[in-house]
Amino acid sequence: MSSKFTTREADFPRWYQEVVAAGDLAENAPVRGCMVIKPHGYALWENIRDRLDQMFKETGHVNAYFPLFIPKSFIDKEADHVEGFAPEVAVVTHAGGKQLEEPLVVRPTSETIIGHMYAKWIQSHRDLPVLINQWANVVRWEMRPRLFLRTTEFLWQEGHTAHATAEEAEAETLQMLEVYARLAEDYLAIPVRKGIKSRMETFPGALRTYCIEGLMQDGKALQMGTSHNLGQNFAKAFDIQFQDTDGQRKHVFTTSWGVSTRLVGAVIMAHGDDRGIVLPPRVAPVQAVLVPIFRKPEERDAVLAAARRAIDGLKAAGVRAKLDDREQLKPGPKFFEWEKKGVPVRLEMGPRDLKDNQVVMVRRDQEGKNAVSLDVLTETVLKTLEDVQSSLFERALERRDAMTNKAASMGEFEEILDGTGGFVEALTDGTDESEKAVKDNTKATIRIVLEDGDVGGECMVTGKPATRRALFARAY
């Protein structure tokens, strides 16, 4: 059944909004810039969250929770931090009918409040490392909201760790970058480029910021996760010290890292088609749906009984399977609904199928139907789900590689961006001025720095000797 969606080619942003709505993932809230995440969308986020939470725990991290409200004086303690977040901060000045003695910032991120607590908790080298993550909501006042991608309030996790040495902090920062890359590639089926940010793109208050970057179907990049080495900046601002084995008092080295509900938007933009969203099986809330088909009352009981046996077998094998036995809807609308919701595998069973001991299987990522014997249904669905997962990744990887190019001059650079878009490798002289000139003239930014030092060649902006090879893109 064909959809009435705007095509991706005609208007990608509009297509995105339409498929989010049609897939029943989320809708705009009464407060501008906020969203209501609906059950199907939240179940998708839960699957992403739960897998990531397991990965955190496998690397020794534990969960905690810190307050939503932060004294404004805390934010002011780290100069780069306050300057970087000032335009996005929401401030509470009145509560309980009275003006507050000190304004409270609604959490944009938690480095400051956590730094305050770590100063109380950490006294000795025996207290280190501290490896804490929290799942929370944050508020950053967003001027150009878009569901999941940029909202005033969004859900995320933020890890905050403290270490005795700079080397340990750097190792932690890179370890979490790898965790994010594994999540993106192994579960979301999105190939990513990972690396360090330029100074201009570094998190406010950090020494170094690393990130994973995905490429969406419209040729724009999406920053899907960041990991920050904060050095001792926040440790000194909040006086987080410990007594080392040599008896000396020293400041700790800290890190922070996070991903958000933006990952839901990444999945939609990386895999969706003109019929709706397409979900990777490993995070899909429903991996397989079975729609029973019957016209006559005497057919009903036999078809439903066989359908329930099939579903029970799938569930016993660990498949998130659902029987759509709603009798107020005909099969056609059911097919269309599950297609829009991106369910990886749809199964159809009618009286003739039952007679032939089979079901009809439809893959969401392909056209066409196949008959599958009920005797091997569970094994076939499990294999198909893995095939869909790998197929989505390979398709996204092929697209990304085809949309990654090199430019030696600003002319070539702009021609690529205005054509296919995508990632563009180019040389620059490493100055903020050149980086800003590219951004001002093309709206492209350095997504990651590929190489610093003597890279050979000339800066595409100034013609001076290049000191940096970088990956540029226009981005969300």
What is the number of other CB atoms lying within 10 angstroms of the CB of residue 218? 18
| 225-228-231 Cα angle (round to 5) | 175
Considering the four listed CATH numbers 3.30.110.30, 3.60.21.70, 3.30.365.10, 3.30.450.20, the one that applies to the domain covering 406-474 is 3.30.110.30
- Amino acid at site 75: I
Which helix or strand (DSSP H or E) is residue 371 part of? Answer: strand 370-373
Which part of the chain is CATH 3.40.50.800? 288-385
Domain 12-271 falls in which CATH fold? BirA Bifunctional Protein; domain 2 (3.30.930)
Phi and psi at 289, nearest 5°, equal -120, 140
Per-residue pLDDT tens, the chain, 476 aa: give them: 445 899 999 999 999 999 999 999 999 999 999 999 999 999 999 999 999 999 999 999 999 999 999 999 998 886 666 676 777 899 999 999 999 999 999 999 999 999 999 999 999 999 999 999 999 999 999 888 999 999 999 999 999 999 999 999 999 999 999 999 999 999 999 999 999 999 999 998 899 999 999 999 999 999 999 999 999 999 999 999 999 999 999 999 999 999 999 999 999 999 999 999 999 999 999 999 999 999 888 899 999 999 999 999 999 999 999 999 999 999 999 999 999 999 999 999 999 999 999 999 999 999 999 999 999 999 999 999 999 999 999 999 999 999 999 999 999 999 999 999 999 999 999 999 999 999 999 999 999 999 999 899 999 999 999 999 999 999 99
- In this prediction the pTM is 0.95
- Give the per-residue pLDDT at 2: 47
Q: How many helices (H) and strands (E) does the chain have?
A: 14, 23
- Give the per-residue pLDDT at 250: 98
| 410-214-219 Cα angle (round to 5) | 50
> Are the C-beta atoms of residues 114 and 160 closer than 8 Å to each other?
yes
User: To which CATH superfamily is domain 288-385 assigned?
Assistant: Anticodon-binding domain (3.40.50.800)
What is the C-alpha separation between 180 and 169, in angstroms, rounded?
17
- Strand-by-strand arrangement of the 208-215 sheet: 62-63, 130-139, 153-163, 253-260, 221-231, 208-215, 192-196, 444-452, 468-474, 423-428, 404-406
The DSSP line for 177-214 is: HHHHHHIIIIIS---EEEEEPPGGGSPTT-SEEEEEEE
> Are the C-beta atoms of residues 342 and 364 closer than 8 Å to each other?
yes
Which part of the chain is CATH 3.30.930.10? 12-271
- Amino acid at site 123: Q
What is the C-alpha separation between 267 and 392, in angstroms, rounded?
10
Which part of the chain is CATH 3.30.110.30? 406-474
What is the C-alpha separation between 33 and 35, in angstroms, rounded?
7
Handedness of CA 100, 103, 106, 107 (dihedral sign): negative
Alpha helices of 252-362 — where are they, by DSSP H?
A: 262-271, 297-316, 331-340, 351-355
Beta strand 404-406 with 423-428 is parallel
